[in-house]
């Protein structure tokens, strides 16, 4: 079997298809007003789409981890792909890099239900590059015009859209301007807002006590120790 085909198959099934699942999970979390899962699943989806693009274009980026900016910078620096993402998608990537990877309330967070359209838009923009077909890449978003539809041959989302009995189809279509078989110019907003202070933000003096029992990233430990020191000052 052709080696290049196997690598492409790995990129598609291990990254793009799994990203499609994470994307639907993110939409379900937004719908249920679950702040942390909505951020985490959005991060996971975009991370995997970016890694699919990296692998399909044979761009090495082993140190990206959950950092979207590192993956995005590697793509842009390669000169092999021109993503040309809109400003709102760039803003989402920055927000997810700041809040999305913290699943245990290690830091304070904030999430908005109305931001559901942001991952929808980002997935539409990135997923076009997650296939060997060049036609979807030529599509562009235009202000005030419904997003153009595209299909990826053999795509996971496409299979869900084609199967009216698939239980993932309804949460994928719910208030979705970007994916679905009919054109929508507008949908009703999903209005909720949740903000929560992290326990360690409220009590940074307990950082070293907490570290006796759990692991925390070095940068957070440093930040909370600095915050505790500030609070001790008269």
- Which DSSP state fits 118? H
pLDDT score at 185:
63
pLDDT score at 234:
64
pLDDT score at 90:
93
pLDDT score at 111:
87
The full set of domain ranges for the chain reads 3-196, 197-234
pLDDT score at 182:
76
Spatial neighbors of 202 by CB under 8 A, at least 6 apart, are none
pLDDT tens for the 234 residues of the chain, in order: 699 999 999 999 999 999 999 999 999 999 999 999 999 999 999 999 999 999 999 999 888 888 899 999 999 999 999 898 999 999 999 999 999 999 999 999 888 887 889 999 999 999 999 998 888 989 988 887 889 999 999 999 999 999 999 999 999 999 999 998 777 666 777 789 999 999 999 999 999 999 999 999 999 999 999 999 887 776
Alpha-helical regions (H) of 100-233 = 117-127, 156-162, 169-173, 199-202, 207-210, 218-232
Tokens of 56: 């399909």
Contact 70, 64 (CB under 8 A): yes
């Amino acid at each position: 079997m052709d080696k290049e085909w196997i690598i492409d198959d790995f990129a598609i099934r291990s990254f793009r298809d799994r990203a499609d699942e994470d994307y639907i999970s993110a939409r379900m979390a937004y719908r249920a007003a679950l702040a942390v899962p909505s951020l985490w699943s959005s991060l996971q989806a975009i991370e995997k789409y970016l890694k699919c693009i990296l692998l399909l274009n044979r761009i090495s980026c082993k140190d990206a981890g959950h950092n979207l900016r590192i993956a995005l910078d590697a793509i842009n620096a390669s000169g092999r792909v021109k993503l040309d993402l809109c400003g709102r998608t760039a803003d989402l990537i920055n927000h997810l890099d700041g809040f999305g990877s913290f699943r245990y309330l290690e830091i304070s967070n904030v999430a908005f239900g109305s931001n559901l359209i942001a991952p929808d838009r980002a997935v539409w923009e990135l997923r076009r590059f997650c296939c060997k077909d060049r036609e979807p890449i030529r599509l562009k978003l235009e202000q005030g015009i419904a997003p153009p539809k595209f299909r990826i041959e053999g795509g996971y989302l496409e299979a869900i859209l084609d199967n009216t009995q698939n239980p993932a189809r309804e949460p994928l279509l719910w208030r979705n301007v970007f994916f679905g078989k009919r054109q929508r110019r507008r949908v009703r907003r999903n209005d909720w807002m949740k903000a929560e202070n992290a326990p360690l933000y409220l009590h940074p003096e307990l950082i070293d006590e907490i570290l006796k029992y759990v692991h925390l990233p070095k940068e957070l430990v440093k930040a909370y120790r600095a915050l505790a020191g500030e609070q001790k000052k008269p």
